Chains A and B, each alone.
Chain A
Amino acid sequence: MDELFVKAYVDESEKEHIARPNLTALQDGWLRLKKNKAAVVCLFTLIAIGLLAILAPEFSRYSYKETNYDIIYQIPSMEHFFGTDQFGRDLWVRTWMGTRISLLIAFVAALLDLTLGVTYGAVSALAGGKVDAVMQRIIEVLVGIPHLIIVILLMMVMPAGIWTIVVALSITGWVNMARLVRGSILKLKNQEFVLAARVLGTSTAGIIWKHLIPNTVGVIVINAMFTIPSAIFTEAFLSFIGIGMQEPKASLGVLINNGYQVLRNFPHVLIFPAIVIVLIMVCFSILGDGLRDALDPRMRK
């Protein structure tokens, strides 16, 4: 090996080689989410539930309000996958119709309070000074209100229906989002990379667009993941205590309430909608946790 004691050929570009591929925060997050098997399973379960909610009622021979007194309280069979209720309505169709409405309410409510909350939080944080102070005082007063109570009062005042629930949920739901977004933007605003961008002459719009928004998306997405199940829960809860959706319309809450009335003799009426709502809640909860772990830069190693 004596001949090896000679100067080695050096590739200069190799010296500063960076071992890791360059990924944006979202790509990075997605890669990490994919590794979380539970979260992926939940994502697909939710997609499956969503598809069933959209398609099942359309491809069934029965309609969700069609009554047939000859076949009341039938147990699940090939004719009626989930059985029938006290009016002989097909529970398979009613369950998926109810899921459709519950999901619709939850998504629209989440979208509305996301818009309200993000706008409020962002304006408050970006405006700063007196505007921020006043907006914060308002938030501090509102945050002490137990939401569900106000939702109940609103439900009593407004005519029953999907939109009432959506409005009631979003009127009370945005406060948390506003606080999170404001907090996140304020933290970012003072971070070195934003200061650096400012020093380098990036415009305010550029800073908002390129630095603040991408870095706040995580917080918003994660919070939305928790808003949706809580909206589904609230809707079901209202229907359960009798002030939400009304028969013959179906929502998961209406179905569960209905099932509870006859639980003693016909448990199947309660079981299926209960399973669907629990599945939805569990999946959102696990997916939300997965997303938080995936998107939270502090967890990056």
Chain B
Amino acid sequence: MSRLLEVNQLQVHIKTQHGIVQAVRGISFYLDEQETLAIVGESGSGKSISVKSIMGLLPKNGKIVGGSILLEGKDLSKYSERQMQTIRGSDISMIFQDPMTSLNPTMTIGKQIVEVLKEHRKDMTKTQMKDRALELISLVGISNPETRFDQYPHQLSGGMRQRVVIAVALACDPKILIADEPTTALDVTIQAQILDLMKDLQKKIKTSIIIITHNLGVVANIADRVAVMYGGQLVESADVRELFYQTEHPYTKGLLASIPKASHKGGELTAIHGTPPDLMDPPKGCPFAARCTKTMEVCRQYPPEDMLCGESHHARCWLLDERAKAFRE
């Protein structure tokens, strides 16, 4: 069966003043129809850059240097800018972290939604577009669509703005919705509402979602599958239940352990010590070796291979190697 989206060995480099940052170092993942994939990792792990390269929205100094991005079998990494324009906003849409800044402050809400339709639905008339926009505004749960249509972003609250951003993204019924930390900038109570809205809409318009987050609570709430990124690589990917209950990679374990529990009383909170690797000069072994609690000599010198440890459960860790049996025990 052909996948909706398949990313193979994607490599992205970013040129900076100080040198080339190997932001994404050969990651592979896939996305099926109506599925939700969560990509988890800390800041600088390369998760944002990975999805931006799917959209063809890398910053000017960023470049895909290897691998492929297949959308229904067509390689987007080979697409020209003009071809990508027909994909963006129609086949793949994206919503961003901060709803306060991701809407144009000098354009009305209505115009910003209609703008996408104008671009990709040349067959629609002006009134049809306006009707569609109003429909979208109520679809994302905003009351009084007629009034909202002519309002400016600053007249709306943060949660409402994120709903508008979602409306913009869903205007053309995209096959894939990419959400880059869609709830990070919102109040906790609003976060849940937005996640519920996304789940709800996914069912209604039958779209697939890639959600980027560093919040494992969000993952548990919305995702079908999870991919954990560290140092520009995917260190573990699995079904959401499997990942939470059969964790293999020490980094994922660390992440899970660092969630404070309600039952936790007194004592220190668990944290992962140290800082992420410098991707300008990535370590030759496992990127997590410097911070791992179970580092072996081999971790320092050889990068671990991707290993299968269950049905569609992958992890990159030397501990899974047979030869590490003695060390494990």
Residue positions of A touching B, CB distance < 8 A: 1-8, 10, 14-19
Contacts and interface: CB of A to CB of B under 8 A. Distances in A.
A287 to B, nearest CB: 21
Shortest Cβ-Cβ A-B pairs, 6 listed: A4-B298, A15-B274, A8-B295, A4-B297, A5-B323, A5-B324
A7 B299 CA distance: 10
A10 B273 CA distance: 13
B318 interface: yes
A14 B302 contact: no
A5 B296 contact: yes
A5 B298 contact: yes
Interface residues of B, number: 21
Contacts of A3: 297
B273 A1 contact: no
B300 interface: yes
A8 B298 CA distance: 8
Contacts of B321: 5
Nearest to B274: A15
Nearest to B328: A5
Interface string B293-329: 0011111111000000000000000100101101100
A293 to B, nearest CB: 13
B185 to A, nearest CB: 20
B291 interface: yes
Contacts of B295: 7-8, 10
A4 B295 CA distance: 11
A95 B299 CA distance: 71
B274 A8 contact: no
A15 B273 contact: yes
Nearest to A35: B17
A137 to B, nearest CB: 30
Contact of A5 (B273, B289, B297): B297
29 contacts: A1-B298, A1-B302, A2-B323, A4-B296, A4-B298, A4-B301, A5-B296, A5-B298, A5-B318, A5-B321, A5-B324, A5-B326, A5-B327, A6-B297, A6-B327, A7-B295, A7-B296, A7-B297, A8-B289, A8-B295, A8-B297, A14-B290, A15-B273, A15-B274, A15-B290, A15-B291, A16-B273, A16-B274, A19-B278
A16 B271 CA distance: 13
A16 B301 CA distance: 21
Contacts of A18: 275
A18 B275 CA distance: 8
Given A5-B327, A7-B295, 8 more contacts: A1-B298, A3-B297, A4-B296, A4-B297, A4-B301, A5-B326, A6-B327, A16-B275
Contacts of B302: 1, 4
Contacts of A15: 273-274, 290-291
A14 B277 CA distance: 12
A14 B290 CA distance: 8
Interface string B252-295: 00000000000000000000011100100000000001110001
Nearest to A11: B290
A94 to B, nearest CB: 46
Q: Which of B273, B290, B299, B327 is packed against the most chain A CB atoms within 10 Å?
A: B290
Contacts of A8: 289, 295-297, 299-300
A3 B296 CA distance: 10
A274 to B, nearest CB: 38
A97 to B, nearest CB: 44
Nearest to B291: A15
Nearest to B16: A301
Contacts of A5: 296-298, 318, 321, 323-324, 326-327
A22 B149 CA distance: 51
A11 B61 CA distance: 36
Contacts of A6: 296-297, 327
A16 B276 CA distance: 10
Contacts of A19: 275, 278
A164 B231 CA distance: 65
Nearest to B273: A15
Interface in B174-188: none
A8 B318 CA distance: 13
A284 B295 CA distance: 56
A14 B274 CA distance: 8
Nearest to B280: A19
A73 B274 CA distance: 75
A245 B295 CA distance: 78
Nearest to A2: B323
A148 to B, nearest CB: 35
A2 B297 CA distance: 10
Contacts of A10: 295
A234 to B, nearest CB: 38
A4 B298 CA distance: 5
Nearest to A18: B275
B130 to A, nearest CB: 41
A154 to B, nearest CB: 44
Interface string B135-175: 00000000000000000000000000000000000000000
A225 B150 CA distance: 46
A126 B194 CA distance: 45
B29 to A, nearest CB: 29
B250 to A, nearest CB: 13
Nearest to B302: A1
A14 B275 CA distance: 10
A160 B278 CA distance: 64
